[in-house]
Structure 1
């Protein structure tokens, strides 16, 4: 079938797709202007997998309640997920705090996508991993919802600055680079909070007898050993544009999609100029 240039990806230009046993993505925050939906769509076009885990905050219900934003790239991301489900990929959606509205659908299967609060993933080498969004272990979200919403507003402002900054970089011929992520890593308290979060998630996996935990929520892609427990965070598609993948032998790897596009001197198409005013079917 003929494809327009806007629908082609880096992989299609190479004439092949990457095949993984499992793919984990989270924190796309579809419905926000900060979402790098064009990067995520480009990634999804070029992969095939047996298992796809959507590890929360795929759609940002908090933001959509305040301001409606939805463009063609957001549509394309959902279409590609549905296409994977129809092609035989086992798709599991674990809602996060920003798409918590879907937690009322837990246990259902919608268009081939199973909804669950948590999942247990058995890797090819037999290891078991607890898969969860992770907001349950964020004390701000869990106990102080007002502060979480206030922080969300400040974060949205930072992402707006990031969008303006990268728009200028693109006009000057420079690749994407996350200013908002760099700013977050300069705040010592944020670094400490990330460490506490990672330690708590690893302890939860140990408590349930698993070899590791796979999560999202804090927009910080990471793979590290914490007291013999494998902690893996697949990152996000707002700042880092990262995904966690499992190879056929059970080996896990973090993919930095923005970096791969920079190295290949390829960029996905720019976002559509005007948002669409209707949800995709």
Structure 2
């Protein structure tokens, strides 16, 4: 039996289960490699915007089952809602056992406060034109599909993988400006409210940086995503780090045997059976 890394807090976001771009197997491998006291799911874990009965593979169900198992084994799971899973916001401030659903949360870590939210509240296109944002989501998903084919061809030729979406984002000045503004707005608000850390997702850009203004400073953190970057945030020994699935060489952890051998109908049954009633989640 392989030893799991014990950490205080793990934060993942933008997994987008139910889409072709999701790297569910890698998410599962990561979750099997850690034993966190608290697991924060910082939005867009299940992509309800693009949900289709025709596409929700077994590997995606395994991720949900794994998260439920982690909660049953003692991990506190905090599901912070995002824009792609905004339907869950009607259940905000409720909990089932060790799993709570919130729109934002505050973590108290070694005498410091971390303000955690997804970040779509800053996105004007989502607030004022949801149909346009959703259309963009479908286009992004198609781009990921094309990118997978391109990478398959490159791999066959013995060449390195290439990210079309990253290239497009990095070449468009507007996207760079948006990301910069997003980080600054989040950091400014955190400083004004006295938070030591501000933790977001949403923009698929993993980052850890000290932000300063004349009013003080905060550490801006972004957990990235599991579509392009395959990253997470981890807190241990009073420090944050960005975990990168591709760069951080760890012993492989595969799906738990009981999950790996389960049929789809059994996975669905295991996920949907609830033996504890909904109750209000405690909030700060």
Name the SS of the counterpart of 2:198 in structure 1. Answer: strand
Q: How many corresponding residue pairs?
A: 258
Structure 2: runs of 5 or more not aligned: 273-284
CA deviation map 1:25-70 (0-9, x unaligned) = 00000000110111100000110011100000000001015x6311
Give the equivalent residue in structure 1 for 2:9. 22
Which is richer in strand? 2
Change (3 A) 1:93 1:265: closer
Give the equivalent residue in structure 2 for 1:3. none
1:113 to 91, 94, 99: 99
Name the SS of the counterpart of 1:194 in structure 2. Answer: helix
Are the counterparts in 1 of residues 44 and 82 from structure 2 also a CA contact under 8 Å?
yes
CA distance in 1, matches of 2:58, 2:97: 20
After superposition, residues 183-194 of structure 1 pair within 5 angstroms as 183-194=168-179
Structure 1: runs of 5 or more not aligned: 1-11
Name the SS of the counterpart of 1:68 in structure 2. Answer: coil
1:56 to 6, 19, 43: 43
Give the equivalent residue in structure 2 for 1:136. 121
CA distance in 2, matches of 1:86, 1:192: 42
After superposition, residues 99-110 of structure 1 pair within 5 angstroms as 99-110=85-96
Give the equivalent residue in structure 2 for 1:256. 244
- Shift in Å at residue 177 of structure 1? 5.2
Name the SS of the counterpart of 1:97 in structure 2. Answer: coil
2:193 to 208, 225, 228: 208
- Shift in Å at residue 158 of structure 1? 1.6
Aligned alpha-carbon RMSD (Å):
2.5
Change (3 A) 1:176 1:92: farther
Change (3 A) 1:95 1:68: farther
CA distance in 1, matches of 2:230, 2:246: 6
TM-score, normalising length: structure 1:
0.84
Change (3 A) 1:173 1:86: farther
CA distance in 2, matches of 1:70, 1:135: 24
Give the equivalent residue in structure 2 for 1:95. 81
Are the counterparts in 2 of residues 178 and 240 from structure 1 also a CA contact under 8 Å?
no
Give the equivalent residue in structure 2 for 1:83. 69
